[in-house]
Amino acid sequence: MNVLLLALLIQSPTDVDAALDKLAAVRPGDGAAYVAAREKVLAFGPEALAPRGAPDRWTAGGWVRAMAAEACRLRLANPELAAAVDHPEGLDPARYRLFRHGEPTVMPALARLGADAVALLIERWRWTFELHSYSDGEAGEKERETLRNAILSLPGRVPDARTRHFLAEVLASKESRDAWRRDAAVSLGMTGGTAALPPLTAILDDGTQPAPVREACARALGRIADASALDAIRTRLAGEKDAQVRRSFLHGLGILGSAWGWSARGKETAGLAESMRAGCAETLVDALKKFPAESETIGIALSMTAWEPSLAAVESIAADSSASPEVRAAAAQVVPALKKSLSRKR
Amino acid sequence: MMRFTRWFVATALLAAAFGACKRGGSDDDGPPAAPPAPPVTPPPPLAVDLDVDTNRNGTVHASDDETGENGWTSTQGAVFYFNIDDDDNNNSEDHLDTAVNGSSDALDLARIVIRHMPSLPSNATLSIAVSAGAQGRVRVFRNDGGSWSSAYAAGASFLVPASLAIAGDVELGIEARERYSPAWDGRVTLVLEARDVTNALLGTDTVLLKCAPWLMASNLWPLEDLCVVNVGSSNSAFRSTLSSTCSSAGATYVEIPGASYSQDRWVQDSHETGAIYLPAAGVPRRRIDNVLQLSRWREVDAWCQNSLWGPDFDFVLRFSTNTSSMNYGGNLEVTGPLNSYPWGRILIGGGTSSPIGGGTAITRRFVQAYRDHFTALDAQGPWLEISTEWLIVGHVDEIVQVVPAPANSRGWAVLIASPDLARANLQAASDNGGGNLTVFAGRGGGWQTTVSAILGNSALMTYNDEVQTRIDGVRAVLQGQLGLASSEIIEVPVLFEDSGFGGAVAYNPGVVNLVVIPSTNGTTYLVIPDPEGPDQPGDVWQAATTAAIQPLYTAGSPVSIIYTDIFNAYHVNLGEAHCGVNFVRTPPAADWWDD
């Protein structure tokens, strides 16, 4: 019987929890301390870690510990996966120079690893990001930003609801770069469900927040497939002063009302899909009258929504002699694309 | 047109005045006048005549080339050449030196002839003025008994020794030293002036020449040579397919050793081939193949320089240091013939828009210097830009491809990527009970999936919904700007995914990114990426692609469609089949100057 097994046999649950507590308490960014503490946790084996990293443990107060436990479990249970996450091919200059555009690209490959990759990626984000080697200078910065974008975006793409608190933390932190907060906002919208609404609207309603972050929150609302998200956009659209944020509300309506998106959610959502697409389309048609300069964005959004009655409504605006020339022109500009989209989706 | 001289006119007037004086004297009543002096014989008239190959038959004729020599029309006007081949194989563009390097290089000079001026005073001055826009952009050589010497390289004008014109015709040769650009439309006007010792103008003549424009090779031109980079076993199936297809098409298959170029396999992106046509004696026209190197600055770029450039094979060295992938060859295509563009119109990708999914708008375009060049090339310019900035690589060949379409009245069509069709194919498979069918069967790295998993991925489907609206925008531009009918834009199934930062890339091997091989045997061969869709019973994406393409062809002009594996060598590296090949093609037997 080797020493490790012996150690496992004599360690109590309390020992595991203590080691995990110590691991989770490592200061973010202190990779060396984390790795040292992680070695002790790994010694408890995957079975001991599995319940401690279970999805229900990823709570507001416990997600860091649960994420660390799950990352450790995966390192033991699936070392190949851990290696793939630790050393993404698309971050290696020798590899990405073979890409057609010759630049670091990791998102598609990491996404195909599935939800299991998420805990390992968040572990890297929090503690070991700088333990890995990057190129010098501008290339290295690009590699870092590419990986950060993937780490923050993947939870939404998978989607992985466990990550809600992690994303909310990144979004809320004013120490985060705007680009990270933006990626976190959109990903949160994709993973968080209605629970994502409060953190997103809090930033949207805070005029002191950077405009690029508010813009991303506006888009993120379109990722929450629920009537409350539509209401959140509706109530804020007309009064929004920032043009880019307003544009993102409109873009978000297209995503929220996407006919293909709702089709993918299955027949069980058919009723909600109808009301959501109708609501998005009505809001967009109304926006056409208020914001004719946004006709391009509104046209794309209406085409995605592909709500049949919206065509007659837009054509009516285009023919309405009481409307301003700008509004009529904007409506006329939208009609061909909307017709094309409707013909595709009938 | 030759001009009679002021000197001749002045002499005649003097003689008339002299005669009048004499006549005045005869009216005098004085003693008989002395016998009249012998009449003054006026010198022969001085014809100042500069000739070029106005009628474009490859020779300069004193009378046949006279009419229209100072203008440019579809039927008249001389042509000259941007001398960028390498006849002496010294790895330098021939126009860069001040010598004429042998008979081949001499052949590259458009001839200009100063006609014999026996009555030109020996102390006269002969000068040729160069139009302002062409100054410094052309070089003129003089042929002195078979020996060429540089006569002009810069400045407003140059001199020709009067003694040469007094002795006989003087032959000059002109070449361009600079490509078309906004600063120069490729035209040069030359004004020959003869002046006497007092600087009085004795005569003048004007000719105009136009530099032959680069004609970018179209997918409709028959294939002569195809090159592909050998990167080992990962693209062996692709290479084997291309080799056998070239054999069937009567084309030459060329492999580039990837190991010599760091496995850089994207030879489509390194350069764009085309041709120059020049008037020639005894044949309808002279063809010079041409490479336009693109602002890419990666390994395989050197191959075209090392292997293609040579005698009668031009090489336009890249003229930007910008390395954005927007500048690569995959982002530069040309349409088939259009009413106003008999040689097709250059198509590039780029624009300003938010990424798929939203966000701040970004601008990504082909670098300005190249856009300016394409505009200046009046045979196929100005370029038309379609929106591709939302793609991570950003190339037109990711979403559209021009193919021969002999069944169409226009003779060609545009294939366009369609997420809608790809999704509909999967939906049909699912509706037929195939939800569990495998997509990307056997592919590791998490690629293998199912029909239901794709259709049930709301993020992926929403993403493709938006991509389809962008592509519909491109379709609208093609219809509006090129006058194509909806039926001339053929959809083929391609889904896209987010590769990071919202940038789109083909999710399934992009069938629109195919290799187009028209042949002289009448068959068009299309080598298409295997999309690796679900089998029901055959690959539903292959079936949809074939069904879309087949009606474009006829029994007399058939198509041979070959699907090929490009997954590991190209697709996972963010490219497809077209990205991995380049071509030399046979231009049509027609003269650009007729248009």
Note whether B229 and B254 are within 8 A (CB): no
Note whether B461 and B455 are within 8 A (CB): yes
The pLDDT value given to residue B31: 53
Share of chain A above pLDDT 70, in %: 96
Tell me which amino acid residue B449 is.
Answer: T
Torsion of CA B117, B118, B124, B129, to 10 degrees: 10
- Quote the CA–CA distance of B455 and B476 in Å, as a whole number: 27
The pLDDT value given to residue B9: 39
Note whether B190 and B109 are within 8 A (CB): no
The pLDDT value given to residue B13: 38
- Contact with chain B for residue A324, Cβ under 8 A: no
Residue-wise pLDDT for B109-157, tens only, equals: 999 999 999 999 999 999 999 999 999 999 999 999 999 999 999 999 9
> What tokens does B531 get?
């999309």
- Quote the CA–CA distance of A40 and A23 in Å, as a whole number: 9
Give ∠ CA B282-B287-B292 in degrees, rounded to 5: 165
- Side by side, which strands form the sheet with B286-293? B215-216, B271-278, B286-293, B313-316
> What tokens does B285 get?
């026209």
Neighbours of B320 (CB within 10 A): 17
Taking chain A (346 residues) in runs of 10, the rounded mean pLDDT of each run is: 54 85 98 98 97 98 98 98 95 96 96 95 98 95 97 95 97 94 98 96 96 97 98 96 96 98 96 97 97 97 98 98 97 97 93
Place of tokens 């208020």: A290
Q: How many alpha carbons fall within 13 Å on the CB side of residue B165?
A: 27
Q: How many alpha carbons fall within 13 Å on the CB side of residue B389?
A: 16
The pLDDT value given to residue B41: 66
Q: What is the nearest CA distance from A183 to chain B, expressed in angstroms?
A: 9
Tell me which amino acid residue A185 is.
Answer: A
Query: Among candidates B163, B155, B172, B156, which has minimal Cα distance to B126?
Result: B163
Q: What is the nearest CA distance from A247 to chain B, expressed in angstroms?
A: 9
Is the ipTM higher than 0.85? The answer is: yes
Place of tokens 């080797």: A2
Neighbours of A309 (CB within 10 A): 11
- Quote the CA–CA distance of B574 and B591 in Å, as a whole number: 39
| Facing A260 at nearest CB: one of B328, B330, B461 | B461
- Contact with chain A for residue B396, Cβ under 8 A: no
- Contact with chain B for residue A214, Cβ under 8 A: no
Alpha helices in B72-205 (DSSP H): 102-107, 162-167
Query: Among candidates B123, B131, B152, B286, which has minimal Cα distance to B208?
Result: B131
- Quote the CA–CA distance of B373 and B181 in Å, as a whole number: 5
> What tokens does B411 get?
């003779």
The pLDDT value given to residue B1: 46
CB contact under 8 A, B457 and A264: yes
Q: What is the nearest CA distance from B249 to chain A, expressed in angstroms?
A: 28
Task: Provide, as residue numbers in chain B, all residues whose Cβ is less than 8 Å from the Cβ of A87.
Answer: none
3-state secondary structure of A77: helix
What lies within 8 Å, CB to CB, of B278 at 6+ separation is B79, B81, B110, B212, B285, B286, B288
Helix axes A325-345, A309-319, angle to 10 degrees: 160
Q: How many CB pairs below 8 Å do chains A and B form together?
A: 135
The pLDDT value given to residue B42: 63
Tell me which amino acid residue B105 is.
Answer: D
Q: Which residue(s) pair with B561 in the sheet?
A: B526
Please provide residue B394's backbone torsions phi and psi, each rounded to the nearest 5 degrees.
95, 25
Note whether A49 and A9 are within 8 A (CB): no
Please report which helix (H) or strand (E) contains residue B170, including its range.
strand B170-176
- Quote the CA–CA distance of A308 and A305 in Å, as a whole number: 9
CB contact under 8 A, B574 and A190: no
Query: What does pTM read for this prediction?
Result: 0.92
Taking chain B (595 residues) in runs of 10, the rounded mean pLDDT of each run is: 42 38 40 62 80 97 95 95 88 87 90 97 97 97 94 97 97 94 94 97 97 96 98 98 98 98 98 95 93 95 89 89 97 96 97 94 96 89 96 98 97 98 98 98 96 97 98 97 97 97 96 97 97 98 98 98 98 98 96 89
- Contact with chain B for residue A310, Cβ under 8 A: no
